[in-house]
Amino acid sequence: MKFVYDFAEGNKDLKDLLGGKGANLAEMTNLGLPVPPGFTITTEACQQYLRNGTHVDGLAAEIDAHLAALEAGMGRRLGDPADPLLVSVRSGAKFSMPGMMETVLNVGLNDESVAGLSRQAGGNDRFAWDSYRRLIQMFGKTVCEVPGHEFEDALHEAKVAKGVRDDVQLGADDLRELVTAYKKVFAKHTGHEFPQDPREQLDLAVEAVFRSWNADRAVLYRRQERIPADLGTAVNVVAMVFGNLGADSGTGVAFTRDPATGEPGVYGDYLANAQGEDVVAGIRNTLPLADLERLDPDSYAELMRIMATLEGHYRDLCDIEFTIERGKLWMLQTRVGKRTAAAAFTIAAQLVDEGVIDLDEALTRVTGAQLGQLMFPRFDLTFEPSSLTRGIGASPGAAYGQVVFTSQRAVEVAASGAPVILVRRETNPDDLPGMIAANGILTSRGGKTSHAAVVARGMGKTCVCGADEMEVSSASFTIGSHTVREGDTISIDGTTGRVYLGEVPVRPSEVVQYFEGDLDPLNANDPLVAAVHRILTHADSARRLKVRTNADTGLDAARARRFGAQGIGLCRTEHMFLGDRRELVERLILARNEAERNDALAALQPLQRADFLEIFREMNGLPVTIRLIDPPLHEFLPSLEELAVKVAVAHEHGRHVEHDEQLLAAVRRMHEQNPMLGLRGVRLGLVIPGLFAMQVRAIAEAAVALAAEGGRPRPEIMVPLVGAVQELETVRAEAEKIIAATVGDSGVDILIGTMIEVPRAALTAGQIAEAAEFFSFGTNDLTQMGWGFSRDDVEGAFFWRYLELGIFGISPFESIDTDGVGRLVKIAADEGRAARPGLKLGVCGEHGGDPDSVHFFHEVGLDYVSCSPFRVPIARLEAGRAAI
């Protein structure tokens, strides 16, 4: 196995082996750009070192050979007392992990070669001693774990002793003394002297870089960024060039376009008479790159030429680190640069205009997650607000308002025109009016699939949940000793999960204004909006998957249509049973005989019909999947505790409250230990006579009404929670009769299908397809029942541990678990289609708007994904990306 590559031997495609930095240094070397010579030790050497915990067989000999070649090329030997070659030892993994791993500069300096370095620098003792003290400091910290602050303290003392404030005011003698002080610090902590043998320094530094792959902060960073833990880092050994040799030297970073906005032009910072670490550490103020033109026009011109070469070569924004040593420019690093979401879109469109890439490639350069970021209003954090606590960012956005603690107060305060933040321990369907009225929702319990999170995402409303430091009571919440009361103002960030005290100013999203039709992308004079329009339009023409929306009101349906939805994939009918209609639902539940039950259903039916008609109108010509009622009926009744207290209090006062007593009895009768696995979905339809029939009739009548207006309704009736074909057949037989009797010769055609959300349904999909014209995968329940994870409880309770242990990298409620739940989807899709060719297949769980999941659904051949209105553009983009 070959462990060491000269820069001339590599290229940019060898990132696995040489890491990002090494691969790009090799690429620049082969482009003929001025890269200091050097070599790269592979990630495989690092992996072996970390596995064995000792030196890697054969590595030393390879380093010898490459070092000898480097020395021959430079005409200097490493650490030669008379004329030393110095090298830097730099980490560089496949994926950039900024600042997470280690670097050691000036390797090769010792008590003797420091004089040689001074001579090389034209008798510059100060520079030589400064370089030496930097080596001891970095080597001590990185290789030998000497606490960094001890070096900093010694440096501080040296400045105090001399009566100066700045490092640069220390002279050669001060720095020589500082080296002595540093050596003492080193010896005190390590029990031995600072190593004088240059080759020993090199070997130890290489091993330290290997080990830094497993430093705590690197491990944490990888987990957050989902970078695999076993890749290891490469190590680059590079001949030192010095930016701190005087006014004609310096160091800088540059971008070939603005990484914040994507605007063309050259951006960067320059620091004269400094080394790279000084720029990063922010010790001195940098100059804008443009100033270099004045300071060193030749180097500036060369840098501009090189940047143009690099952009042309990489066909993308590049970022660069460079050093100028006495008027000679050296390239220390380049890579395709990180950028903001806005810049990603703008740059991709610019590169298309410039003829550098085509639209297909532009689509690969942006992501749905970036588009999502652009759709939410943002806080202006230049005001540095004070952070109260942090929860789970469950529905992105930025919202502020007065704190209220009940749905009712939210409605009242919002009606007065004030923005409100609804704060609850957790929310339930009763809180819906307050959630609609509020600007944002904050809960102390529950995770990303809690009621609050799912409903808020559906409404595009900012939500932070699971902020478990908060103790929420009926009129205040406390965090430690801090109490926030009703009427106090807070601000919540649904992306980061941060909660701030007071009002943080918010900026609206132009991209949403464009989707809403309020900004014309061609006249907007806004390159970002134009770029989003162009790339999304291309995604639409590329994609095979259709994108529908989950919407249960005309308002949501209309918005989703503006956002590009091609129909409704899930209309949850249960919200239509809340509010004023609750009383009718109570009547239904309390009915003592068929007549009373039929009365209650007859009262509900016209209301339902009006709901459906409104939605069909908004979605005229497009398919609308309406799901028959799913949640257990007791969710529509008051809570057992509250009602029991109310009745007990009445009794104590000698009052007779018959209605409440009846309700209480019903709540007790209907109480379930596991309601999610209890009487819900199709089971309700089979147990409560007339309930589904009422809904089916309302759907059919609404469709007939729209057809009579000249519209084109395309209803699809969906039966939830089916596990066996017999359930579906029973519901279907009744529904078909009602439909036939209702639609007559109106020309209305209504499909009947089912959700696949119970694992048994997925595994018997071939049978179920016989009775279904379409399947829609309910991946929320399929995940819940597939894993046996209660969707309302687990995320806040213990998922953190699962994520920590790497059992999964992301919650399976957020992104489809392709191996398990995804396999159920694939089996059902294949077997369903085998039984009924042309079976329409969609997904309506939360995963329908998750970028990675959209790619999976494309691969298994679904016809559409359905997601909340705000995620429709994201799904459109990702479906396009999946198809190219």
**How far, in Å, CA of 387 to CA of 403, rounded?**
16
- Residues forming the annotated binding site? 572, 627, 757, 778-781
CA distances from 188 to 2, 133, 147, 151, 181 (A): 39, 16, 11, 12, 11
**How far, in Å, CA of 793 to CA of 805, rounded?**
19
**CB closer to ligand PEP out of 611 and 630:** 630
**572 binding partner (options ligand PEP, Mg ion, none; Cβ < 5 to 8 Å by kind):** ligand PEP
Number of residues that bind ligand PEP (CB under 6 A): 10
CA distances from 237 to 77, 143, 254, 332 (A): 14, 15, 23, 12
What torsion do the CA atoms of 46, 48, 54, 56 make, to the nearest 10 degrees? Answer: -90
**CB closer to Mg ion out of 266 and 719:** 719
Q: What is the DSSP string of 421-447?
A: EEEESS--GGGHHHHHH-SEEEESS--
**Spatial CA neighbour of 43 closest among 224, 209, 279:** 209
**Polymer length of the chain:** 884
- Work out how close the CB of 472 gets to ligand PEP at its nearest, in angstroms, rounded to a whole number: 25
- Residues forming the annotated binding site for substrate? 572, 627, 757, 778-781
**CB closer to ligand PEP out of 727 and 781:** 781
Bridge partners of residue 93, in order along the sequence: 233
**496 binding partner (options ligand PEP, Mg ion, none; Cβ < 5 to 8 Å by kind):** none
Contacts of 854 (CB under 8 A, 6+ apart): 368, 545, 848, 865, 875, 878, 879, 882
Cβ neighbours, 10 Å, residue 243:
25
Active-site annotation, residues: 451, 844
- Work out how close the CB of 845 gets to Mg ion at its nearest, in angstroms, rounded to a whole number: 7
**CB closer to Mg ion out of 632 and 778:** 778
Instruction: List the one residue from 174, 258, 781, 792 that touches Mg ion (CB under 5 A).
Output: 781
Q: Does 458 bind ligand PEP (CB under 6 A)?
A: no
- Work out how close the CB of 843 gets to ligand PEP at its nearest, in angstroms, rounded to a whole number: 8
Q: Does 757 bind ligand PEP (CB under 6 A)?
A: yes
**574 binding partner (options ligand PEP, Mg ion, none; Cβ < 5 to 8 Å by kind):** none
**CB closer to Mg ion out of 781 and 831:** 781
Contacts of 173 (CB under 8 A, 6+ apart): none
Q: Pattern 741-780, binding to Mg ion, x per CB under 5 A?
A: ----------------x--------------------x--
**845 binding partner (options ligand PEP, Mg ion, none; Cβ < 5 to 8 Å by kind):** ligand PEP
- Phi and psi based region of residue 685 (left: phi greater than 0; alpha: psi -120 to 50; beta: remaining): alpha
Q: Is 242 exposed, middle or buried (0-12, 13-18, 19+ CB in 10 A)?
A: buried
Contacts of 205 (CB under 8 A, 6+ apart): 89, 104, 107, 139, 142, 143
**26 binding partner (options ligand PEP, Mg ion, none; Cβ < 5 to 8 Å by kind):** none
**CB closer to ligand PEP out of 130 and 430:** 430
Q: Pattern 765-784, binding to ligand PEP, x per CB under 6 A?
A: -------------xxxx---
Q: What is the DSSP letter of 848?
A: G
- Residues forming the annotated binding site for Mg(2+)? 757, 781
3-state secondary structure of 363: helix
- Work out how close the CB of 291 gets to ligand PEP at its nearest, in angstroms, rounded to a whole number: 57
Residues 795-814 that bind ligand PEP (CB under 6 A): none
Q: Does 849 bind ligand PEP (CB under 6 A)?
A: no
Contacts of 103 (CB under 8 A, 6+ apart): 88, 89, 90, 91, 138, 142, 209
- Work out how close the CB of 606 gets to ligand PEP at its nearest, in angstroms, rounded to a whole number: 25
**How far, in Å, CA of 298 to CA of 369, rounded?**
42
Q: What is the DSSP letter of 243?
A: S
- Work out how close the CB of 721 gets to ligand PEP at its nearest, in angstroms, rounded to a whole number: 8
Residues 376-405 that bind ligand PEP (CB under 6 A): none
**CB closer to Mg ion out of 686 and 707:** 686
- Work out how close the CB of 386 gets to Mg ion at its nearest, in angstroms, rounded to a whole number: 41
Instruction: List the one residue from 252, 259, 753, 845 that touches ligand PEP (CB under 6 A).
Output: 845
Contacts with ligand PEP by CB under 6 A lie at: 570, 572, 630, 757, 778-781, 844-845
Contacts with Mg ion by CB under 5 A lie at: 757, 778, 781
